A and B are shown apart, each in its own frame.
Chain A
């Protein structure tokens, strides 16, 4: 928030994947046929075109293929449906699947699919489409880097058009959770080659015009299985600059802004023309050390560098208090598997550990950051001040936003990262697992892997929760990722808009949103 240029290249490039708010909740058996997520929609108005700002995270290279390395997140969420989804309360709700069940040891999962669903090209939706879409997730050659997570699926069978059976290589008590993220969107069978152009899905809106740097227009799909949506159309308008997005909202050029900075929020708070909606979420920033590179390969150094952190101060200064303190876990506060530990600052212990590790006179480090996300550089600056108290001298190197995610992050030994929340199981595998796509700390620990495998295989929710929490506690002691806080979700929008749910925008049900006439 301090480093600030007029056109910051706010582009999140490779590896930074914004994903869904996923609250893994225990009950993985059958669910009722239809549940509408909680909504504040008023039935007053229907129709109209809703204009939503899109941050151009990939600078115009966006693709509407759900498995692209440069996914057009907002459009992917609108165009396609998933088998199941998590609602605002963190409950699994049916989407294209109406029911699911597992065998006794959770190695065979059977999903029953919804009747009467059609794709935007009028083709009927069947089990073949599901098998095809999920097989794409298993393909090691996919761009999204998620194959490792889905490798436990050994076999996919389609005994009839309404049934899909997944056979797993090892037990997984919460397989459906893996299908709740936008990456697991269902596309028509054999459409891999064309999906990036057509965008044909089963969603409530269909693609009319695709232009990420300009206006991407999606119109109501009248034959949607959910019934026709309330809006006539949604337009995603690409604006790379955060200030320009905010001005466009104020000038009435857009109706909805889904990422609002704490300062912009303060500015809008008292304005009667706009509504501000904030709620706890799981966006997190981290200081990430490579555990395979000196001096961070010494666990005492890693412990010292996290003991010197004053998390409350970071939350206050970087995020203006809009978030919650975290003890280095990627699992957010609303997740049932979140470990609620405490991690107070302890400068004396930090100094002691550094001395033991052979740095009695402190340590010189270089921390890499960029202006890609507004909180990154302030986090580096505050950490620099705190580290100095323990004799750790941090030099901040700021790198251009454009090349940060491709050239710096994942390469340099000490970097600032910013990521989105995933359900506990996905998150812990992705960020710390041996084959995890986003394991920037290069954490490679058999004991940790063991805990995760046990959690997946445990059918008792109580014991499973215990394993996941133990895994997080283990990370606080062993790994090199410092996560001081999780940030709130912050939406701001015109008073004419109603029905936005308290879920991350990537999980928004846009068919429930309405726009009142001027």
Chain B
């Protein structure tokens, strides 16, 4: 049994690695497909033949694509993501500290919204079509329908400008210690929590309603088991599995798309780094950021897969490929 489990885990890991390798190829090919190359993109309208040729040579763009891909991947494997064109320093010096700051936001938002939304989702499911459910569903509808920059702006106005309780924009350096960064994470985290909770709550609500309708739960009820026991032992485990998978996808999506929230709060995360890099047309930087974020995405989904496996033994065989 343990061996089977181990094989399964290893299998998932290998699949994720394969997809990750594919991501590297996809990013590289996408950038190749864009008109021009890193040199012409960076120099933009100001490119003269001489300057373009000079930058091409510096970046080694005259080599065939395959060779460049091999050079890039072997660099990445050694932790060398190349040199930023705009910042004229190794990409890695900016990448990790910004990723740290973004993951802090993602982690805080997840830790708050998952328990909160799941609890409220169950509540909504249990009080289906009565006022707690209607109220919660309405809130969820608003939270998934308003753009994050609207939510963020409203929060800034309420808590920073009207009541000056919390900072509106981040005023510390990207490399500041986490303790110094924390006060500035409150409003971005609140924005993310609102966004996440809306989705998670709706998911949990639907899932618990389905579970309560299932034969398995109906049987338990017919046996006359106490309602709380039915909920905790019979309905919830089945309802959680799909929510875990879907939540992971949403959280992974959010981590990859922090750009807007970070921009609203001037937060020094990987999203604002990506935005600056794109404004500067700094392709080596963009390439590295996309790869790292895709890696996070895959990792989060992998963890969710493993969690589902652990939660629900029956799935192990079903989901085997």
Contact = CB atoms under 8 A, between A and B. Distances in A.
Contacts of A44: none
B174 A213 contact: yes
B266 A244 contact: yes
Contact of B46 (A59, A215, A239, A408): A408
Contacts of A239: 169, 171, 266
Interface in A231-260: 237-239, 241, 244, 247-248, 250-254
A368 interface: yes
Contacts of A5: 279
B123 interface: no
Contacts of B264: 6
Nearest to B42: A403
B164 interface: yes
A: interface residue count bin: 20 to 34
A251 B156 contact: yes
A251 B161 contact: yes
B168 interface: yes
B276 A412 contact: no
Interface string B238-280: 0000000000000000000000000110100000100110011
A492 to B, nearest CB: 15
Contacts of A397: 45
Contact of A9 (B44, B161, B167, B280): B280
Interface in B155-211: 156, 160-161, 164, 167-169, 171-174, 176
A93 B87 CA distance: 41
Interface string A422-444: 00000000000000000000000
B163 to A, nearest CB: 10
A237 B279 contact: no
A400 B280 contact: yes
Contacts of B168: 247-248, 250-251, 253
A252 B165 CA distance: 10
A184 to B, nearest CB: 29
B8 interface: no
Nearest to B86: A402
A215 B172 contact: yes
Contacts, number: 86
A7 B86 contact: no
Contacts of B297: none
B281 interface: yes
A355 interface: no
B43 interface: yes
A489 to B, nearest CB: 24
A211 interface: yes
A271 to B, nearest CB: 11
A400 B44 contact: yes
Given A7-B279, A403-B86, A251 B164 contact: yes
A239 to B, nearest CB: 7
B86 A399 contact: no
A246 to B, nearest CB: 9
A292 interface: no
Contact of B171 (A6, A215, A368, A403): A215
B276 A368 contact: no
Contacts of A408: 45-46
B188 to A, nearest CB: 13
A400 B281 contact: yes
A304 interface: no
B124 to A, nearest CB: 35
A411 interface: yes
Contacts of A214: 171-173, 176
A477 interface: no
**Secondary structure of the A contact surface, majority rule:** loop
Interface string B20-56: 0000000000000000000000111110000100000
A402 B276 CA distance: 9
Nearest to B260: A6
A399 B45 contact: yes
A143 interface: no
B280 A403 contact: yes
A365 B172 CA distance: 44
A165 interface: no
A445 interface: no
Given A7-B275, A239-B266, A250 B161 contact: yes
Nearest to B281: A400
Contacts of A356: none
A248 B45 CA distance: 35
Nearest to B176: A214
Interface in B45-81: 45-46, 51
B276 A252 contact: no
A277 B217 CA distance: 71
A402 B280 contact: yes
B86 A247 contact: no
Given A7-B276, A251-B161, A399 B44 contact: yes
B46 A211 contact: no
A293 to B, nearest CB: 13
Contacts of A407: 43-44, 46, 51
B300 to A, nearest CB: 26
Interface string A392-432: 00000101111100011001100000000000000000000
Contacts of B44: 399-400, 403, 407
A247 B156 contact: yes
Nearest to A398: B45
Interface string A190-217: 0000000000000000000001011100
Interface in A173-187: none
A213 B173 contact: yes
Interface string B129-162: 0000000000000000000000000001000110
29 contacts: A6-B264, A7-B263, A7-B266, A7-B275, A9-B276, A211-B173, A214-B171, A215-B171, A215-B172, A215-B173, A239-B171, A239-B266, A241-B169, A244-B266, A247-B160, A250-B160, A250-B161, A250-B168, A251-B161, A368-B45, A397-B45, A400-B44, A402-B86, A402-B279, A402-B280, A403-B42, A407-B43, A407-B44, A408-B45
| CB-based closest 8 A-B pairs | A214-B173, A251-B168, A251-B160, A244-B266, A244-B169, A407-B46, A247-B168, A402-B280
Interface of A: 5-9, 59, 211, 213-215, 237-239, 241, 244, 247-248, 250-254, 368, 397, 399-403, 407-408, 411-412
Given A251-B156, A251-B161, A402-B86, 14 more contacts: A7-B266, A211-B173, A214-B172, A214-B176, A215-B172, A237-B171, A239-B169, A248-B168, A250-B161, A251-B160, A253-B167, A403-B86, A407-B43, A408-B45
